[in-house]
Structures are given as structure tokens and as C-alpha cells.
């Protein structure tokens, strides 16, 4: 008889097995917790690498949403490459330049590619030029390397109804582009110099991003629209293909074996404030008229 309760044989103790069981339970609970967090968007887990697809759609008037996603996927180690899905006719100069610069920075850390949709022209192409590889469909509308500053004159209409526009200004050119007076030769010269300067910035960005001689870019930087097939022949596009082709190439360039998992930004919820802000921006652009430069 062993020591213990008289007349009852004790079961042998197994502390090692009990410890292993506790460890398995703790690890299981830990991984279940991490899995739950990852599904809520807190962390990213994947046995294979991911390719992020960021849409750039419509008029380019605000760079912040795209830059936010570029930074987010740039800091995610599970994302091995990024694809910009561009469907844009262009937009503002500054927003296009801001996105271009952020793409250039990210491209130094991981591959960024472009997939062109129906149209990726002017400001849309400006952004694409910063990526490592550009895919387009044969019929994609692209190119349009140029700058425009639109103006509207109401002078004749205002005078016809008996009104006269006047302005008190601090300098000769302070009301330049006013729809209430004729544009003078001096006005046109000043505005043309601004347009030409921004145009050269566009040309330089394309030449640097696409590694094309500046003089070759200048030959086609007259605002002309090109098909994807024409753009490829001129070196503005690397390959013809759709989004799936671009994602597959991005996976290869990112060192992903097998089919990459595609991740996209969550759909942005549009609030009443967003609608009012966009409406206000459109109204301001309309009021400014010629004071606003456009890459379209």
C-alpha cells in the first residue's frame, strides 16, 4: 500500500503531460485571439504575400485618400507589391504631383505598378509615370501630356444688360483672368508663362519616371490623346493587359510564389460633410476659373 488514504491506491502523478496540455490550450487561445483581431482589420496574417490594389478614380482633386492608402499598404510587411488601378481623365496639378511623389517614395521600398482602365490621361498618366511598370488595355485612352487654364468671359453679356464690371486692385495683374474684362496681351503673357512652367514639370516627371529622353517626351507632349497600343509603341506603357495581368506581374516582382492574395482599401463612407466639402470645392473652382490649372 502507498502512503495516502488508508486502503486506497493513489493514481500516479503526470506533471509533464499536464503542463503540455496547459501549454497547448494557452497557445490555441492566443492564436484564436490573433485570428479574431486580424479579421477585424487590426493585423494582417497570410502564409503568402499580398498585392494591394488602390483605385484612383474620377477627377483628381484631393490627394489625401490615395496617399493615406499608399502609406498604409507601404507599412504593411505582408503587402509585397502595390497596383494603382487608374480610371481618371486627370485633374488638379498639385494633387497629381502629391500622389506622384508618394508613389515614387513607396516604389523605392516595394514594387508599385499601374493598371489602366478605360482612361488614364493627363493627371492620371502623371501618377502612372512614377510606377515601375505600366499596363494598359489596347483601347485605353491615355497620354494627354499637357496643361490647360480655362477662362470664360462674361464682358459682352454683362454690358448688354447694362452692367459694368469694376475692380479695385493692388497691382496690375491682381484681377488677371477676370470674366468681366478683356484679357490684355500682358495678361496672356503672364498666364502662358505659368502654363509653360507647369507643362515642363509634367514633361520632366514623365521623362524621369519612364526613363525616356526628355526630347522624346517633348515630341508627344502636346496634349494629344493616345490609345494604350499607341502609348506602348512610344514607350509610355510597358505592356498590354488587364488588372489580373498586372496583379500577377506585381506578385512576381514582389517575390510572391503562387497566386497572390489581393487586398483593397475599405470602401470609404461618404458623409454629408464630405458632400458639402466637394460641392464647395467645385463652386470655388468655378468662381476662380482661369486661376485653376488642370491636367486634363
DSSP string, 29-86: HHHHHHHHHHHTTS----SS-EEEEEEEES-B---HHHHHHHHHHHS-TTEEEEEEEE
Task: Give the three-class secondary structure for 120.
Answer: strand
CB 195 within 8 A of CB 295: no
Give the span between the Cα atoms of 240 and 52, in whole angstroms. Answer: 20
Domain residue extents for the chain: 47-266+273-295
Q: How many CB atoms lie within 10 A of CB 69?
A: 22
Mind listing the pLDDT tens digit for each residue in 83-130?
999 999 999 999 999 999 999 999 999 999 999 999 999 999 999 999
More confident residue, 285 or 144: 144
The superfamily (CATH) of domain 47-266+273-295 is: 2-enoyl-CoA Hydratase; Chain A, domain 1 (3.90.226.10)
Give the span between the Cα atoms of 144 and 90, in whole angstroms. Answer: 9
Residues 6+ apart with CB under 8 A from 262: 50, 51, 52, 53, 247
Handedness of CA 267, 274, 131, 223 (dihedral sign): positive
If you ran DSSP here, which 8-state letter would residue 132 be given?
S
Mind listing the pLDDT tens digit for each residue in 133-188?
999 999 999 999 999 888 887 777 777 887 777 788 888 888 887 887 888 999 99
This prediction's pTM: 0.76
Give the span between the Cα atoms of 86 and 114, in whole angstroms. Answer: 7
Range with lowest mean pLDDT among 28-37, 79-88, 182-191, 250-259 = 28-37
The catalytic residues are 122, 174
Amino acid at each position: 500500500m502507498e502512503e495516502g488514504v488508508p486502503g486506497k491506491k493513489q493514481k500516479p502523478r503526470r506533471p509533464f503531460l499536464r503542463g503540455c496540455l496547459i501549454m497547448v490550450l494557452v497557445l490555441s487561445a492566443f492564436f484564436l485571439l490573433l485570428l479574431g483581431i486580424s479579421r477585424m482589420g487590426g493585423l494582417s496574417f497570410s502564409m503568402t504575400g499580398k498585392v494591394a490594389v488602390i483605385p484612383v478614380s474620377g477627377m483628381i482633386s484631393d490627394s489625401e485618400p490615395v496617399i493615406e492608402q499608399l502609406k498604409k499598404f507601404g507599412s504593411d510587411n505582408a503587402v509585397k507589391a502595390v497596383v494603382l488601378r487608374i480610371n481618371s481623365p486627370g485633374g488638379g496639378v498639385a494633387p497629381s504631383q502629391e500622389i506622384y511623389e508618394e508613389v515614387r517614395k513607396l516604389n523605392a521600398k516595394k514594387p508599385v505598378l499601374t493598371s489602366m482602365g478605360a482612361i488614364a490621361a493627363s493627371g492620371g498618366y502623371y501618377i502612372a509615370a512614377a510606377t515601375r511598370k505600366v499596363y494598359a488595355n489596347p483601347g485605353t485612352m491615355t497620354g494627354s501630356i499637357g496643361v490647360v487654364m480655362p477662362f470664360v468671359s462674361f464682358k459682352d453679356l454683362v454690358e448688354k444688360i447694362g452692367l459694368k464690371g469694376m475692380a479695385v486692385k493692388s497691382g496690375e495683374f491682381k484681377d488677371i483672368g477676370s470674366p468681366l474684362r478683356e484679357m490684355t496681351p500682358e495678361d496672356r503673357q503672364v498666364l502662358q508663362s505659368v502654363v509653360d512652367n507647369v507643362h515642363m514639370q509634367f514633361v520632366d516627371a514623365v521623362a524621369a519616371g519612364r526613363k525616356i529622353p526628355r526630347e522624346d517626351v517633348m515630341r508627344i507632349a502636346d496634349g494629344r490623346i493616345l490609345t494604350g497600343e499607341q502609348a506602348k509603341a512610344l514607350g509610355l506603357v510597358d505592356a498590354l493587359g488587364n488588372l489580373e495581368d498586372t496583379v500577377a506581374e506585381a506578385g512576381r516582382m514582389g517575390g510572391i510564389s503562387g497566386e497572390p492574395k489581393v487586398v483593397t482599401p475599405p470602401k470609404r463612407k461618404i458623409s454629408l460633410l464630405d458632400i458639402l466639402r466637394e460641392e464647395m470645392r467645385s463652386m470655388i473652382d468655378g468662381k476662380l476659373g482661369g486661376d485653376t490649372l488642370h491636367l486634363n
